[in-house]
Amino acid sequence: MSENILKLEHVSKSFARTDAADVTNALQDVSLEVRTGEFISIVGASGCGKSTILRLIAGLIAPTTGTLTLDGRPITGPAPERGMVFQKPTLFPWLTVEQNVSFSLRMMHNTEGMDEKVDRLVKMAGLEEFRTSYPHQLSGGMAQRVALIRTMINNPPVFLLDEPLGALDAFTRMNMQDELLGMWGESRHMMLMVTHDVDEALYMGTRVVIMAPRPGRVREDLKIELEYPRNRTSSKFMEYRKHVLEMLDFGRAEDEAE
């Protein structure tokens, strides 16, 4: 498998405010390099630009300054090799659960083994009884599970996850964490996940990028030297957890002092 290299070089992003003449600086001078086989967890306070980073990588928005490249090619818009799961599920309301999950495979005429893939993912997400249901018949958490496995079925080389598990109950969330790690372990594709859950970030990431807010910037890019599967109660895990929490608290204290 060839290695993909994603680079963000001195990326900044500003948004015009509709209620004022000035702008909001969402990101400032962010540089990051991610390679095939890495799982990057991005954590930070609300408003620190975590989701903006993913939207830039997905090609949904353009940077104000700086460059984003994948394998040396500029990212100028969305592409199939960069799959994204959003905070809120974006399902086709006229399609059933199984039709939503298989939609992209059918559009690409990639139907070999499709039914088996759909069956496995629907079962993994605990949605077997709802496979013929429509989005309006699902709870918010169930709809998010559909959105997640709809992207998972394509196994994209760059997988972008924006708080994908936040609406799930604790049991389903842990199952989905392990399923995502299993998929990543098999493919060793590149994954970037935004989360507010420090334990989740440490459980899943090979690196944890800690963001500081206003404007969003990288405070620390922390390599997690723990083997998989990880023990959430081990002393080393708890040391990492303490450090990340201290860094996040430090960021808030620094901003309050300014």
Q: How confident is the model at residue 20 (pLDDT cuts 50, 70, 90)?
A: low
232 and 186 together in one domain: yes
- Domain total for the chain? 2
Write the pLDDT tens digit of every residue in 32-68: 999 999 999 999 998 899 999 999 999 999 999 999 9
Point out the domain boundary residue: 104, 120, 155.
155
Domain of residue 42 covers: 5-81+158-257
In-domain check, residue 121:
yes
Q: Is residue 12 pLDDT above 90, yes or no? A: yes
Q: Are residues 173 and 253 in the same domain?
A: yes
86 within some domain: no
Is 56 inside a domain boundary? yes
Whether residues 74 and 174 share a domain: the answer is yes
> Please, what is the average pLDDT of the chain?
90
Bigger pLDDT: 167 or 127?
127
Name the least confident of 7-16, 44-53, 139-148, 241-250. Answer: 139-148
N-term to C-term CA, the chain: 47
Per-residue pLDDT of 95-133, as tens digits, reads 999 999 999 888 888 888 899 999 998 988 889 999 999
Residue 254 has pLDDT above 60, yes or no: no
Let me know if residue 100 belongs to a domain: yes
Give the residue, 73 or 175, on which the prediction is more confident. Answer: 73
pLDDT at 2: 65
Cα-based distances in Å from 44 to 39, 53, 67, 117, 197 = 17, 12, 23, 35, 9
CATH number at residue 227: 3.40.50.300
Domain end marker among 102, 127, 155: 155
| Beta partners for residue 39, in sequence order | 191
pLDDT higher at 151 or 97: 97
SS3 assignment, position 124: helix
169 and 253 inside one domain: yes
Looking at residue 135, its pLDDT comes to: 95
pLDDT band for 161, please (50, 70, 90 cuts): very high
Enter the pTM of the model: 0.87
Angle at 240 between CA 236 and CA 244, to 5 degrees: 170
For residue 257, what pLDDT is reported?
44
At 212, the pLDDT band (50, 70, 90 cuts) reads very high
